[in-house]
Structure 1
Amino acid sequence: MLYPELFKQLESVRWDMDKDIPWDSFDAAKLSDEQARTIKMNAITEWAALPATEMFLRDNRDDSDFSAFMSIWFFEEQKHSLVLMEYLRRFRPDLVPTEAELHEIRFEFEPAPALETLMLHFCGEVRLNHWYRRASEWHTEPVIKHIYQTLSQDEARHGGAYLRYMKRAIARCGNEAKAAFSKVGVLMASARRTAQALHPTNLHVNKNLFPRDTIQSRLPDPQWLEHWLDKQINFDAAWEGKVVDRILHNMSLLLDRSFKSVQELNRYRKELTATLAAAGAAPVAKAA
């Protein structure tokens, strides 16, 4: 089991909201209304760990180890929402999200293949680590800069934990897991070709609720994410390149093959798909 070891690792570096956040360093003159509103949107978005955890537990009923790990991930992700709300409660109480605004993003995600979902969220952690690093640079108020840097480090650790479960999946499922991970990896490393930000909170997850079946679509300002990325924290091509590089680097380690580009990863995906198809066709041919 991975859960006991991951619990010890993450427990050893867990930060305390009262002791480790420099609340006394707050400088009101360095917090604009524009910046404060983005903190509210991030606080609501982080609350999405609630429906995501419900999804993970439902779709991994046969995996008690991973489900137990969700107790850590859920706690730390909800803590992210809480510390952002605490910041607003102390310094901009007019912008604290209401319970109704938080509950609006709790809706059911449709069942999805567990391996693909695992890879999707691994990539999401990589991307969010970089978004929060950039947000920390963009903000000018010292306390919120520290908070975003702290959250970015958590997201990196979560990505590392997901990677451990991905390695375990390959040991158990072989090419099936490799195909699932490479397929989603190609998608999540191709954000330059899409009109929207590729992150789990911005993907459609319930066709019966379409088009309001993404986390972002249910925020008080559904257009906030793109504006935050493009006009505020300026998550430009250079930063997007860092995300892609991290995904490709980890896929290279995971799959024991070097990937310098999304195209190389996609070629590998096609090779696996052909191998699996041939393996699946073999029994039929033999029977015939």
Structure 2
Amino acid sequence: MLYPELFKQLESVRWDMGKDIPWETFQAGALSDEQAQTIKMNAITEWAALPATEMFLRDNRDDSDFSAFMSIWFFEEQKHSLVLMEYLRRFRPELVPTEQELHDVRFEFDPAPPLETLMLHFCGEIRLNHWYRRASEWHTEPVIKKIYATLSQDEARHGGAYLRYMKRAIGNFGDEARSAFAKVGVLMASARRTAQALHPTNLHVNKALFPQDTIQSRLPNPEWLEHWLDKQIDFDAVWESRVVERILHNMSLLMEQSFKTVQELNRFRKSLV
């Protein structure tokens, strides 16, 4: 089992919201209304770990090891939402999300193949790590800069944990797992060719609820994510290329081959069909 080791590792580096966030260094003049609004939207999107966990537990009923790991992932992701809301509670209380706004992003996801879902969320953690690093640079207020830097490190560790389960899956399922991971890897590393960034928060996950079947569509401002990426944190082609590089690097390690481009990964995917 991977869960006991991952629990020990993640417990050893877990941050304390009271002790490790420098609340006393807050500078009111360094936080704009525009920036504060983005924190509210991020707090709500992080709350979506709740329906994602429900999905993971439902679709991995035969995998108690991974399901146990969800106790860590769920706790830490909900803590992300909580620390952002605590920031607003202290410094912009009028922007704290309402319970209804949080509940609106909790809805049932359609069943999906567990291996593809695992890879999707692995890539999502890589992307969030980079989004939050860029958000930390964009913000000008010291406390929220520290919070985003802290969250980005959590997302990187979560990606590492998912990678451990992906390695285990290849050992258990061989080319079935390789094919699933390569398929989603090609999709997620091709985001620059699509109209919007690909991340679990903006993918359609419930056909019956379309078009209100993405996390993003249920936010108070459904247009927020693209605006945040393109106009605020300026997640440009350079930053996107870093995401692609990390996906390809990890796929190279996982498949024990070298993938320098998405096209090379796609050729490998086709060779497994």
TM class by smaller structure: over 0.9
Q: Partners in 2 of 1:78 and 1:35 — Cα distance?
A: 21
Partner of 1:41: 41
Query: After superposition, where does 1:145-164 map in structure 2 within 5 Å?
Result: 145-164=145-164
Q: Partners in 2 of 1:96 and 1:230 — Cα distance?
A: 24
Q: Partners in 2 of 1:168 and 1:262 — Cα distance?
A: 24
Following superposition, the deviation at residue 172 of structure 1 comes to 0.3
Query: After superposition, where does 1:74-223 map in structure 2 within 5 Å?
Result: 74-223=74-223
Q: Partners in 2 of 1:167 and 1:144 — Cα distance?
A: 35
TM-score (norm 2): 1.00
Partner of 1:244: 244
Following superposition, the deviation at residue 165 of structure 1 comes to 0.1
Counterpart of 2:213 in 1: which secondary structure? Answer: coil
Following superposition, the deviation at residue 243 of structure 1 comes to 0.1
Q: Partners in 1 of 2:27 and 2:21 — Cα distance?
A: 14
Partner of 1:31: 31
TM-score (norm 1): 0.95
**What's the CA shift string for 1:140-171, capped at 9, x where partnerless?**
00000000000000000000000000000000
Following superposition, the deviation at residue 98 of structure 1 comes to 0.1
Q: Partners in 1 of 2:197 and 2:189 — Cα distance?
A: 11
Counterpart of 1:17 in 2: which secondary structure? Answer: coil
**What's the CA shift string for 1:69-124, capped at 9, x where partnerless?**
00000000000000000000000000000000000000000000000000000000
2:4 partner letter: P
Q: Partners in 2 of 1:160 and 1:186 — Cα distance?
A: 19
Following superposition, the deviation at residue 49 of structure 1 comes to 0.2
1:220 partner letter: P
Q: Partners in 2 of 1:17 and 1:149 — Cα distance?
A: 13
Whose Rg is larger? Answer: 1
1:7 partner letter: F
Partner of 1:259: 259
Gaps of 5+ in 2: none
Q: Partners in 1 of 2:9 and 2:219 — Cα distance?
A: 34
Give 4+ residue runs of structure 1 displaced > 2 Å after superposition.
none
Gaps of 5+ in 1: 274-288
Counterpart of 2:14 in 1: which secondary structure? Answer: coil
Following superposition, the deviation at residue 197 of structure 1 comes to 1.3
Q: Partners in 1 of 2:98 and 2:197 — Cα distance?
A: 26
Count the aligned residue pairs: 273
Q: C-alpha root-mean-square deviation of aligned residues, in Å?
A: 0.2
Q: Partners in 1 of 2:53 and 2:137 — Cα distance?
A: 30
Counterpart of 2:125 in 1: which secondary structure? Answer: helix
Following superposition, the deviation at residue 196 of structure 1 comes to 1.3
Counterpart of 1:110 in 2: which secondary structure? Answer: coil
Q: Partners in 1 of 2:156 and 2:137 — Cα distance?
A: 17
Partner of 1:53: 53
